[in-house]
């Protein structure tokens, strides 16, 4: 038997779905940059352009979510289990540390305002670490 | 859960990737099943049994204490 049996199209389909997700994510990130930097650098605070950029960002965001759902459905059962565990840990860490961070800001314990981007970074790092640990444990 | 996947695969001279392609799962999943680190679902166990023309219980065995 060789590795290019008709069933190997499963791997090809998965690669295509992963590439598709990467493209949607890239588009979302680029429009996020446009919506964030555009008002100051490109259209001098014009609200119409800001609304259009934010609307485009949200639309592409939904596209990214759908691409992620398709990607997750295409994974095999072990990969889905690892993803589920990683997402669960990420959600928990995000909630616990997010509210704690917000409380630190409300109680004026920290000098600066709590930024959503800090929470996103924590969640992204948590997700990556838990994915690596999850896959390592099963290898 | 113990299984004879590695033996059955070796008898047919298949690599983990070959078996993964047949079962439409990743090579890592085959590796985890062979090492007993991941138990397959019932549909995947049936699919595996069908592929080897065996009964599920001839491939997978419950580990009792």
A3, A77, A79 ranked by CB distance to B21: nearest: A3
Give residue B62's pLDDT. 84
Q: What pLDDT band is residue A3 in, cutting at 50, 70 and 90?
A: very low
Model confidence at A4: pLDDT above 60: no
What domains can be seen in chain B, in order of their start residue? 2-54 (1.10.260.40)
* Low-confidence stretches of chain B (pLDDT beneath 70): 65
Asked if A5 lies within 8 A of B22 by C-beta distance, the reply is yes
- Range A58-87 average pLDDT: 96
Give residue A5's pLDDT. 56
pLDDT digits (tens, 9 = 90+) for A92-126: 999 999 999 999 999 989 888 888 999 999 999 99
Overall number of domains in chain A: 2
Shortest Cα distance from A136 to chain B (angstroms)?
10
Q: Name the H helices within chain A.
A: 9-41, 47-74, 77-106, 116-138
Asked if B37 lies within 8 A of A135 by C-beta distance, the reply is no
Model confidence at A139: pLDDT above 90: no
A41 and A83 housed in the same domain: no
Model confidence at A75: pLDDT above 60: yes
Asked if B25 lies within 8 A of A3 by C-beta distance, the reply is no
Residue where a domain stops, chosen among A40, A56, A74: A74
A70 and A83 housed in the same domain: no
A94 and A123 housed in the same domain: yes
CA distance A9 to B58: 29
Domain that holds residue A12: 1-74
pLDDT digits (tens, 9 = 90+) for A22-63: 999 999 999 999 999 999 999 988 999 999 999 999 999 999
Q: Which pair of tokens denotes residue B57?
A: 């219980």
Instruction: Using DSSP, state whether A81 is helix, strand or coil.
Output: helix
Residue where a domain stops, chosen among A19, A46, A74: A74
Give residue A45's pLDDT. 86
A118 and A54 housed in the same domain: no
Model confidence at A20: pLDDT above 80: yes
Q: Could you tell me which residues come within 8 angstroms of residue A114 by beta carbon, excluding any fewer than 6 positions away? A: A101, A102, A104, A105
Give residue A11's pLDDT. 85
CA distance A68 to A35: 22
A70 and A91 housed in the same domain: no
Which residues is B60 bridged to in the sheet?
Answer: B3
Q: Could you tell me which residues come within 8 angstroms of residue A28 by beta carbon, excluding any fewer than 6 positions away? A: A57, A60, A61, A63, A64
């Amino acid at each position: 038997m060789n590795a290019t049996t008709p069933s190997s199209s499963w791997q090809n389909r998965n690669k295509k779905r992963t590439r598709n997700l990467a493209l949607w994510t890239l588009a979302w990130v680029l429009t996020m940059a446009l919506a964030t930097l555009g008002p100051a650098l490109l259209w001098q605070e014009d609200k119409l352009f800001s609304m259009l950029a934010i609307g485009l960002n949200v639309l592409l965001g939904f596209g990214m979510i759908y691409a992620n759902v398709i990607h997750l459905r295409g994974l095999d059962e072990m990969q889905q289990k690892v993803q589920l565990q990683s997402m669960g840990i990420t959600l928990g860490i995000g909630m616990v540390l997010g509210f704690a961070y917000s409380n630190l800001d409300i109680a004026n314990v920290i000098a600066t305002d709590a930024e959503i981007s800090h929470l996103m970074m924590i969640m992204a790092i948590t997700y990556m670490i838990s994915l690596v640990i999850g896959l390592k444990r099963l290898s | 859960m113990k299984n004879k996947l590695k033996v059955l695969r070796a008898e047919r001279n298949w690599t983990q990737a070959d078996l993964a392609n047949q079962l439409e799962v990743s090579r890592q999943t085959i590796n985890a099943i062979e090492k007993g680190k991941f138990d397959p679902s019932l549909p995947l166990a049936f699919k595996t049994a069908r592929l080897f023309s065996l009964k599920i219980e001839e491939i997978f065995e419950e580990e009792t204490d």
